[in-house]
Chains A and B, each alone.
Chain A
Amino acid sequence: MPRLYADRDRYPVRPENALVEATDAAIRDMVRSCVAASGRLHGETILGQLLDELVTADKVEAVERRILDSGYRFTWSSALSLRDRPDIYASEEARDNGSFSFEHEGAVVIDAEPGGRQQRGTGDNVTRTAANTIGTAMYLRTSEKVLDLMRNGVPADTVAVIDDSGGTLTAPILDRFKGVICAGGTIRSHLGILTREYGIPCLMNARVSGIRDGDTVEIESSAPARTAESYAAGVEMPARIWKLP
């Protein structure tokens, strides 16, 4: 098999993630086979821009098949990716009702606090408010749920529990929440920016356990807002999340 220019790298490393390593290796193997088929050296194929003719969409699709043939199934982040290609994504469904709860590794849980309050996690506070925020937890993970709330209205005092740090999924209804717990992103993520604009108490990057639809929750929005400097320095500034009796 011919050598690629990248094969001469004096400081090669393996990517941190096995999927990146496997996919990149498969792409480079595909490029090598295209160069081999041309009967020329790697540099000569680029000079003639022959590689642009040899590397076709079909050959790139074979890379994906090679990964899938190993039995691996991809983790989805867009619910529509799972909907459109259920054959290639791991089958955990996008659930946002019933008994589902986030169970994050490292969630700080203190079962018995005075008065029966239970700490069920922490997050990064976006904007400091005078008092904590109390409301009713509701998971929001699919566009179908958002559409339902657009049609039927968002119940009063809803604290949305979301694992999407973006600003699009909840776009039509975000301003109707009393608070937001987001299991992702940072205060500078789009959802953090928007809740700040709307003046909605919000904890980003939340790590929680045992919060379900209908639970009464309290978020420590009176804690200091997390700063960009603290992210850069790796200094935690946790605001707490409680489940109330």
Chain B
Amino acid sequence: MISDRKPPSYVQLLETNNLIQQTSDSFYWLCLTRTVQESKLYPVSAYILLSYLNAFYRYPELLRKIETRMSAEDIGDRSRNMGVKLQNSHISSCLPAFYLLGREMLINWGMIRPQDAMDDVIYVLDFWKRFMLAWHRNSGYLTNTQAGQRGQILPNRRLEVFKADLYSCEPGDELQEAANAFMATASQYGFLVSCESRVSLTNSGPYRIDDNHEMLIRDFMDFAECSLPWLDGVAADVPYNNITVVMSVRDCHFHIVDEWGSFEAEPAFVAERLAGVGLYTSDPLTDGHQPIGMGSREELIQTLRSLNETVREATNRLWIRMADWSRETLLDAGALTYFSAVKELAHVAGVYEVSDWMEIDPRAARFRSVLNDDYANLFLGELVGGLTLSSQQRSPFTMAKLAERPVAMMTPLPYSVLAGEDYVPTCGPIQPGSTLLEPKQDRYRTSRGTITLAEYNRLAREFVPTECTEPHRFLCETWVKYNAASPQADELYRLTQRGSRNLEGRGCSMEIK
């Protein structure tokens, strides 16, 4: 209640509203070139809307819970060094947008006012900002939109290893064929794992190699038995939960790598342009990216072929499982996939609980009955594409960025609370949720083997990647630029070079070409 709380400061409101507007603009741009994603299998729009509501009611408390163990900026540092599922589409876009769109739905329905849940809104956006700035420390941009649709995140030392260890390939050779086949199969599986969404796939970069070559980092995530209950059993044979394909391409420029991890190239990227391949895994328990099958060219080809076959078989098993579900079960799975797009934050902090991330809060679930396919498709289209809901209208003098109309996707916080207008600070604690999905089996595939959740959380709490320990954590790119000859720089580079076929032990003094 406002009466016994200190209101937020003017500066907090100013900054939060800037973050809301940035999210609004970037999400609108992302939706411009896409239609509402329909599926004959999944009720996609319906689950998206349910996930927005679940995010509104649950993210504030779950993020605060994560920060009892690790700050957002600490996790951002981990993400930059480790990869894993803390990527473009998940934190960059899903975290603020899903939360704020749930709020927008409830404002439109008359359930809340723009000033309600104000402390939550400020906190969620602040968490996002701190994570993003730490994760994007090397570029200094908050988002890919700010960076001109680029996601250049990794430090020089990691990129040197990726580049040096690439195996080159040519049109029609065995490696190019195996790599392209695996990436296609993995993309297909990823869409299925994440219930017709992009949550299991993302891309970052591009990184320049030379005038004719660029490097793109492709991440495939949640592929093995993990926190998604529908992978229990069907993905038991998938040996890695997260797989990173480093690929270099010739004679094409990735001019868009957006916040959903989609890329566009000019001229278009086609299979024949693949010029080099590297394969890695990482998770919250690995000390950086670990090479997979990178000992020799032949080993890499065989590894890609083997993974391709394993993933294809898992695809068939998972499809048969999902095709047998009811519409309401599909709705749960899709909503929980979207909602839990940021769940890796909890895994890294070692505070993951199934009931937090794999259940629908009753305050969200009560709206299920209006989320039929028809209303959900139309409402979602108006909410994120048309911007034609009442809450999204502005003064008629307004000419919105991109839309050129008096609209904005997301409602700002009103400053009137500083003049005494009442508000509700928070949506309150999460409530015991429910799901129609089969209970999650207590098996999690990690780089330390298949372990229980309790073990996973314990190991995550104990583990700090070496590059994130003092003093390495703050030896940044600017420092390296002026101190490359120092023993500390050598040590820092040697840490990243562990396991590298070509650079192990070389340190920072290697000649830069």
Are the C-beta atoms of A185 and B35 separated by less than 8 Å? Answer: yes
Are the C-beta atoms of A194 and B34 separated by less than 8 Å? Answer: no
Separation in Å of the B265 CB from the closest CB of chain A?
A: 10
Interfacial chain B residues near A46, Cβ < 8 Å: 112-113, 116, 424
Interfacial chain A residues near B375, Cβ < 8 Å: 19-20, 23, 74
Partner of A57, one of B110, B319, B366: B366
A31 CB within 8 Å of chain B: yes
Give the distance in Å from the alpha carbon of A168 to the alpha carbon of B365 in the complex: 25
B262 CB within 8 Å of chain A: yes
Partner of B109, one of A24, A80, A190, A225: A24
Are the C-beta atoms of A5 and B328 separated by less than 8 Å? Answer: no
A216 CB within 8 Å of chain B: no
Give the distance in Å from the alpha carbon of A19 to the alpha carbon of B269 in the complex: 41
Are the C-beta atoms of A80 and B327 separated by less than 8 Å? Answer: yes
Interfacial chain B residues near A56, Cβ < 8 Å: 366
Partner of A11, one of B326, B327, B366, B395: B395
Separation in Å of the A113 CB from the closest CB of chain B?
A: 29
Interfacial chain A residues near B382, Cβ < 8 Å: 15-17, 20
Give the distance in Å from the alpha carbon of A28 to the alpha carbon of B374 in the complex: 19
Give the distance in Å from the alpha carbon of A46 to the alpha carbon of B327 in the complex: 33
Known: A16-B388, A188-B262. A166 touches B34 (CB 8 A): no
Q: Which of B341-385 contact A (CB under 8 A)?
A: 362-363, 365-370, 372-375, 377-379, 381-382
Give the distance in Å from the alpha carbon of A172 to the alpha carbon of B330 in the complex: 18
Known: A168-B319, A186-B35, A228-B264. A81 touches B370 (CB 8 A): no
* B: number of interface residues (CB 8 Å): 83
Are the C-beta atoms of B42 and A55 separated by less than 8 Å? Answer: no
Interfacial chain B residues near A163, Cβ < 8 Å: 40
A79 CB within 8 Å of chain B: yes
Give the distance in Å from the alpha carbon of A197 to the alpha carbon of B322 in the complex: 23
Are the C-beta atoms of B270 and A47 separated by less than 8 Å? Answer: no
Give the distance in Å from the alpha carbon of A228 to the alpha carbon of B32 in the complex: 9
Are the C-beta atoms of A232 and B33 separated by less than 8 Å? Answer: yes
Separation in Å of the A59 CB from the closest CB of chain B?
A: 8
Known: A28-B110, A167-B191. A49 touches B424 (CB 8 A): yes
A100 CB within 8 Å of chain B: no
A215 CB within 8 Å of chain B: no
Separation in Å of the A25 CB from the closest CB of chain B?
A: 10
Interfacial chain A residues near B1, Cβ < 8 Å: 47
Known: A166-B191, A194-B187, A198-B184. A77 touches B38 (CB 8 A): yes
Are the C-beta atoms of B369 and A168 separated by less than 8 Å? Answer: no
Most-contacted residue by chain A among B109, B330, B388, B428 (CB, 10 A): B109
Are the C-beta atoms of B191 and A194 separated by less than 8 Å? Answer: yes
Are the C-beta atoms of B327 and A168 separated by less than 8 Å? Answer: no
Are the C-beta atoms of A172 and B111 separated by less than 8 Å? Answer: no
Partner of A174, one of B188, B366, B396: B188
A184 CB within 8 Å of chain B: yes
Give the distance in Å from the alpha carbon of A4 to the alpha carbon of B268 in the complex: 51
Most-contacted residue by chain A among B37, B39, B395 (CB, 10 A): B39
Give the distance in Å from the alpha carbon of A142 to the alpha carbon of B41 in the complex: 8
Interfacial chain B residues near A23, Cβ < 8 Å: 370, 375, 379
Closest A residue to B377 using CB positions:
A77
State the 9 A-B residue pairs at the shortest beta-carbon distance, nearest first.
A166-B39, A167-B191, A74-B374, A197-B184, A11-B393, A57-B366, A4-B110, A164-B40, A5-B113
Binding site for A on B (CB under 8 A): 1-2, 32-35, 37-45, 107-113, 116, 180, 183-185, 187-189, 191-192, 195-196, 198, 256, 262, 264, 268-271, 315-316, 319-320, 322-323, 325-328, 330, 362-363, 365-370, 372-375, 377-379, 381-382, 386, 388-391, 393-396, 406, 422, 424, 428
> Can you list 25 pairs linking A and B with CB atoms under 8 Å apart?
A4-B110, A13-B389, A23-B370, A24-B109, A27-B110, A56-B366, A60-B369, A61-B369, A76-B374, A78-B44, A80-B43, A80-B327, A81-B373, A147-B320, A150-B316, A166-B37, A168-B42, A168-B196, A172-B315, A172-B319, A175-B185, A188-B34, A197-B184, A198-B184, A228-B33
